[in-house]
Amino acid sequence: MRAFLSHCYVKSTKNNAVRHRRFIEEMQLNSEAAIAKVREQSEARTQEEMGALSAAEEQLTAGASFQALQTLVRRLFQPTSLKDLFVGVSSTFAQILHGSAAVLFLFDPSSNELWTQREENQLIQVPASLGIAGSTLSSGSTLLIVDVSADPRFHPMVDQFALSGLQQDDSTISQSNLNYSKPTHGMVSSALVSTDGS
């Protein structure tokens, strides 16, 4: 009888241990499922918040660009020196294009030259047919150039001097007036800095 009771006790203990193990495994599965559900909800909420932040950032950026454009228009109609006009237009375009710098070139059809004013009294005049600036002017297209000095249109006499402040960034964009029915009178080159670090 003692052996029988001992056998029953061992069997009962094993059954309890098995039930207890199954209960623990079931709790672990339920916990993992709950954690996965919470993680999924958290990620969905994060995506929603990021989308809302992105939309708000776009609105702020668009608003800032519009304000910069309004400032530019006001500056154009205020009496100012030529240097102040170049600085104002260039800095406004850099802000609108999210660039770190910009250079404004004006085209003089009588001499077939592009010219700009960079520093206090430094007037830069370059042939309109040379370099990236000249190529942009003649094609009337927008160019996005990652490595300015490696571009085949790069001309050291023109681009290295005129765009020296723009080459240090990730890429350069040049854009001339895209209205083909009228002659082009100027263009803007801007150094762009990518926001994602690439």
The percent of residues in the chain predicted with pLDDT above 70, rounded, is 66
Confidence label for 159 from pLDDT (cuts 50, 70 and 90): low
89, pLDDT greater than 50? yes
196, pLDDT greater than 70? no
Alpha-carbon torsion angle 163, 169, 171, 177, nearest 10: -40
**If you average pLDDT over residues 7-29, what whole number do you get?**
81
Eight-class DSSP state of 83: H
175, pLDDT greater than 80? no
Rounded to the nearest integer, the mean pLDDT of the chain is: 71
195, pLDDT greater than 60? no
Helix, coil or strand: residue 154: coil
**If you average pLDDT over residues 85-102, what whole number do you get?**
75
190 or 55, higher pLDDT: 55
**If you average pLDDT over residues 33-47, what whole number do you get?**
82
| Closest listed residue to residue 176, CA positions, set 133, 145, 124 | 133
**If you average pLDDT over residues 132-142, what whole number do you get?**
81
Can you give the pLDDT at residue 181?
41
Can you give the pLDDT at residue 29?
82
A 10 A CB-CB count for 114 gives 26
A 10 A CB-CB count for 60 gives 10
Angle between helices 2-76 and 82-96 (to 10 degrees): 160
198, pLDDT greater than 50? no
Can you give the pLDDT at residue 38?
81
Confidence label for 79 from pLDDT (cuts 50, 70 and 90): low
Residues 145, 190: Cα–Cα separation, whole Å? 10
